Copies of this chain bind each other. A is one copy, B any other.
């Protein structure tokens, strides 16, 4: 515990491993304080190194953060599931492996879908949810990388490493692009003990999960009504990867949710407005109201 609490940054927290469910999951766990642990679930092809220290580190001042690497990603063993439900199973097994019986959860993009699924599969584990840049099951225009607005960047050979994230996570304004450059500079602060980058097989499996997530049976969004936990929904109004309409739907159908949107920003609004986001997230998590408004 002492060693873990001494580390409060994703820049230098060591990658750890836990065996559960027949897999070996990579994770990082750092920070501490009065709050419940906060499980952090990552985006499409993202790994532990994609967690912006400007977002994780302020939150780690008041609670432990647990960054999870799902099966088949980074140094976690196993295969990437082709459904969100499969990913939720891995994340629940991981929590069991750590013997974490109750926590809060921050899910970004794909991670927000996994969070919704986990809460529906095992509601007793979760106290509060934060769903950023994500969509409900049955959402629309979820991660269609083939559409021109995204393809033009994803197929641009001049964009190296994280540079493509500046284009696809941020709005095409000078201010948002500058925030994007600062974001990828922060991702580069961690020098050692990094995860291997995700390849095309990981992408293909996760894209299959998005296609499945867009499908729904029966009444659209009805499943959201079963999620009673206080939920904070966040997105940038110019998100081209998972348009903000999906966050509007979350806010209208999650019975105990507050929506906050950010201007001049896209999918990565939490990284652009990290000061505001961490302040709002801290206030939301610190509130002991059973209702989402904080």
Interface residues of A (CB under 8 A from B): 237, 244, 248, 251-252, 254-264, 273, 275-277, 279, 291-294
20 additional contacts (CB under 8 A) given A256-B264, A258-B260, A258-B262? A237-B251, A237-B252, A237-B259, A244-B248, A248-B248, A251-B261, A254-B263, A255-B263, A255-B264, A256-B263, A257-B263, A258-B263, A259-B259, A260-B260, A263-B291, A263-B292, A273-B291, A273-B293, A277-B293, A279-B294
* Total copies of the chain: 2
A228 to B: closest C-beta gap in Å: 11
Which residues of the other chain, B, contact A260 by a CB distance below 8 angstroms? Answer: 258-260
A24 to B: closest C-beta gap in Å: 39
Pick the residue among B244, B256, B262 that contacts A293 (CB under 8 A): B262
Question: Are the C-beta atoms of A263 and B276 separated by less than 8 Å?
Answer: no
Which residues of the other chain, B, contact A275 by a CB distance below 8 angstroms? Answer: 293
Q: Can you give 10 A-B contacts (C-beta < 8 A)?
A: A244-B252, A248-B248, A255-B263, A256-B263, A257-B263, A258-B261, A259-B259, A259-B260, A262-B293, A277-B293
Which residues of the other chain, B, contact A273 by a CB distance below 8 angstroms? Answer: 291, 293
A81 to B: closest C-beta gap in Å: 31
Give A294 to B260 CA distance when docked, in angstroms: 11
Question: Are the C-beta atoms of A276 and B294 separated by less than 8 Å?
Answer: yes
Ranked 6 nearest A-B pairs via Cβ: A276-B293, A259-B261, A273-B293, A237-B252, A251-B261, A257-B263
Which residues of the other chain, B, contact A261 by a CB distance below 8 angstroms? Answer: 251, 258-259
* Closest partner residue, chain B, to A273 (CB atom): B293
Which residues of the other chain, B, contact A248 by a CB distance below 8 angstroms? Answer: 244, 248
Give A219 to B279 CA distance when docked, in angstroms: 36
Question: Are the C-beta atoms of A263 and B244 separated by less than 8 Å?
Answer: no
Give A277 to B256 CA distance when docked, in angstroms: 16
Give A106 to B254 CA distance when docked, in angstroms: 28
With a 10 A CB-CB cut-off, give which of A256, A261, A293 has the most chain B CB atoms. Answer: A293
Give A276 to B279 CA distance when docked, in angstroms: 15
Which residues of the other chain, B, contact A264 by a CB distance below 8 angstroms? Answer: 255-256, 291
* Closest partner residue, chain B, to A257 (CB atom): B263
A114 to B: closest C-beta gap in Å: 22
A217 to B: closest C-beta gap in Å: 24
A244 to B: closest C-beta gap in Å: 7
Which residues of the other chain, B, contact A256 by a CB distance below 8 angstroms? Answer: 263-264
Give A211 to B244 CA distance when docked, in angstroms: 29
A201 to B: closest C-beta gap in Å: 37
A252 to B: closest C-beta gap in Å: 5
Which residues of the other chain, B, contact A254 by a CB distance below 8 angstroms? Answer: 263
Which residues of the other chain, B, contact A291 by a CB distance below 8 angstroms? Answer: 263-264, 273
Which residues of the other chain, B, contact A244 by a CB distance below 8 angstroms? Answer: 248, 252
Which residues of the other chain, B, contact A255 by a CB distance below 8 angstroms? Answer: 263-264
